[in-house]
Structure formats: structure tokens, C-alpha cells
Amino acid sequence: MEITLALIKPHVMRNTIAFAAIKQLIKDNFTILDSKEVYITKGLSELFYAEHKGKFFYNRLTTFMASGPCYALILQSKDCIAKWRALMGPTKVFKAVHAHPGCIRALYGLSDTRNACHGSDSKTAALKEIAILFPDFIRDNVSENS
């Protein structure tokens, strides 16, 4: 079994219907190992998105992520990273709407920054991101066969 981090972005947290729909989609497709509402400060956002520093969207992204609460989840399933990324859809909302109209970002994304959710893009990134938002999570307690 594989784990990944899922992060529901601030604008979705303000939309209770969208938030509930995404949470139900997650419950239907994954085992949730942990979840919590998180307030991502500008500094934490900069640490979380450090690989994007210097890119044109970096300041907009880190500022937006600090604009309100997010909801973080540790998900587990077979091929969890690819499965979550497929449910999210493309990062760019325009592409999501046209190429994957039923995905989360097509349904609830507003822009490329406000694209509803985040998901780790690799096992290494998942472990790094989980450690940032769930510092007490112990990977050794996760069953590889469940």
C-alpha cells in the first residue's frame, strides 16, 4: 500500500457543499490514516512549496495558501499517488474542464492557483509533505498490506 498527502485549499473550505463532496469522494476511494484542519502560515507555505521558489506563481501561491484554513489528509490505497492525482485532474483548471470534466479541479477549481486541492507527485514528496503537516505521523505504523 502507498500513502500520499491530500490538501484541500482555502477557497474550497469556504464552500461547505464542495468540501463535503470532495471529502465523500476521498472516503469512497481511500483509507484515511489521519486528517485535520490546518492553518498554513506564509512561512509554512514557503517551506511546503520550496521547489517552486523563483517561479512566476510562487508568491501568489504561498499567499493564497495562507489566506485561510486548509484541510490535510494522509491517504492510503494501492497506487495512492496516481489514484489521487487522477481524481484531482490536471493542475490547470482550463485543461481540467475540457479534458477531464468530472475531476475535482474541473468541478471546484477557480484558477491554476485556486485549483481546489493539492496532491504529492512522488513518494519522496509525499513523505516530505506529510512530515511538514503531520510531524507526529509515524510511517512505521502503516501496514503495507492493508
Please check if 9 is assigned to a binding site.
yes
Please check if 94 is assigned to a binding site.
no
Known active-site residue 52? no
Contact of 21 with 62, CB cutoff 8 Å = no
Please check if 62 is assigned to a binding site.
no
How far apart are the C-alpha atoms of 66 and 63, rounded to whole Å? 5
Catalytic, out of 11, 52, 100, 118: 118
Conformation bin of residue 92: beta by default, left when phi > 0, alpha when psi is -120 to 50: beta
Cell 490538501 sits at which residue?
A: 7
Distances (CA, A) of 93 to 13, 48, 52, 78, 108: 18, 21, 19, 26, 9
Please check if 139 is assigned to a binding site.
no
Please check if 105 is assigned to a binding site.
yes
Please check if 85 is assigned to a binding site.
yes
How far apart are the C-alpha atoms of 122 and 45, rounded to whole Å? 19
The set of catalytic residues is 118
Residue ranges for the known binding site are: 9, 57, 85, 91, 105, 115
Residue ranges for the known binding site for ATP are: 9, 57, 85, 91, 105, 115
